[in-house]
Structure 1
Amino acid sequence: MTSLLDQLGAAGPAPDLEPDLYGPLLGVWDVANRYLVEDTGKWVEGTVVWTFGRVLGGRAVQDVMWFVAPGPDGYPVRESGSTMRLFDPATGSWHVVWFSPAGRTAALVGRRGERGDIVQEGVRPDGRAIRWVFTELTGDSFRWLGHVSADGGRSWQLEQEMLARRREPGEVTGR
């Protein structure tokens, strides 16, 4: 019997996957993370192990994130989340869905930005616009910025920033 993971994974991109927008992110990344807690207006810092891989016959790139941040009692708390990025060859666009085990979700559309960035835009369930951007991409690092807008995209507030460094092959995954 073949396992779900064997069926899910893909060795390479589908032949008509153009643009291969998320291909440069494949691998494991160690991330310094900071995010704004809306209720308090305070920033919280933590770490993330972020792993990207090809799935679904090479038509999609999925990631798994393991966040570590201080809990209410000061001890570290681990949480996970995952994003599926699925290429639609009929439209040439990328459909992006982030979800967490706690039931939080976000749906966005991904595209190449003007400076080679990866721009993902959508709307939260509460109606606020969101923009998530992979920027300053190199072979071994990137910066991820999460913005939210309460006025339909006329102004944006930074609510999360992640600075990523590619993990060397063979390092322990940190799971």
Structure 2
Amino acid sequence: MTSALEHNLHSPEPDETLLRELQTFGRFIGSWGLEWSRPGDPDAPVGVHGELHFGWVLGGRAVQDVWIVPADGTAERPFGFHGSTIRFFDRDRGVWRSTWIEPVNARVRKFIGREVGDEIHLVSTDAEPFLRWRFTEIAPDRFVWLGEFSDDEARTWRLEERMVAKRRRDALRE
């Protein structure tokens, strides 16, 4: 049985009037396995697996995702997380507006996103440090997500997290 929330939040397909714009994140709809790492951090755990799920929401006008690391849901500070992003294309500004909410580490960040060459860049300047999240090496069944930060107002960026995502064939695509 579908709850009223599920019925009104989830959408089976994208809004037809936004098909071209929505493809930026729409190509990720479905479920993914993650290999998470924190390069250069000797205190970070290694061999951590997670999962990621993308779906259409809000009448097919937005894309929501859920990131879970580690995959068993036992996220603990500071290296584990279980959060969600809602993204929509802002036609007036020609950019993606995105908000990340993650209760384990008590984080909420707003991002502005756009395609840059073959990548997708999301930048947050609403708090220190500035953050840049990049989707790179994008293919139908794989992509690499890079989490970077800048403590000099985006003059330079340093890698903090890296995730390799592989599409899961064992999960239903929604």
TM-score w.r.t. the length of structure 1 is 0.83
Which amino acid in the other structure matches residue 136 of structure 2? Answer: T
SS of the equivalent of 1:19 reads helix
- The within-5 A match list for 1:35-74 is 35=38, 42-45=43-46, 46-68=48-70
Corresponding residue of 1:107: 110
Residue 12 of structure 1 deviates from its aligned partner by: 1.5
Per-residue CA deviations over 1:59-117 (Å, capped at 9, x if unaligned) read 11000111118xxxxxx933411111122222222101111123311111110112x21
Distance 1:11 1:33 in 2: 29
Residue 166 of structure 1 deviates from its aligned partner by: 0.2
Corresponding residue of 1:16: 17
Corresponding residue of 2:147: 146
Distance 2:63 2:84 in 1: 11
Per-residue CA deviations over 1:137-163 (Å, capped at 9, x if unaligned) read 111000000100011111111000000
Q: 2:31, 2:171 within 8 Å by CA — same for their partners in 1? A: no
Gaps of 5+ in 2: 76-80
Among 118, 121, 127, the alignment partner of 1:119 is 121
What RMSD over aligned residues (CA atoms) do the two structures have, in Å?
2.2
Q: 1:124, 1:130 within 8 Å by CA — same for their partners in 2? A: no
Corresponding residue of 1:94: 96
Distance 2:144 2:3 in 1: 37
Which amino acid in the other structure matches residue 27 of structure 1? Answer: G
Report the identity percentage: 34
Residue 36 of structure 1 deviates from its aligned partner by: 6.1
Gaps of 5+ in 1: 70-75
Q: 2:119, 2:138 within 8 Å by CA — same for their partners in 1? A: yes
TM-score w.r.t. the length of structure 2 is 0.83
Counterpart check, 1:77 vs 2:74: yes
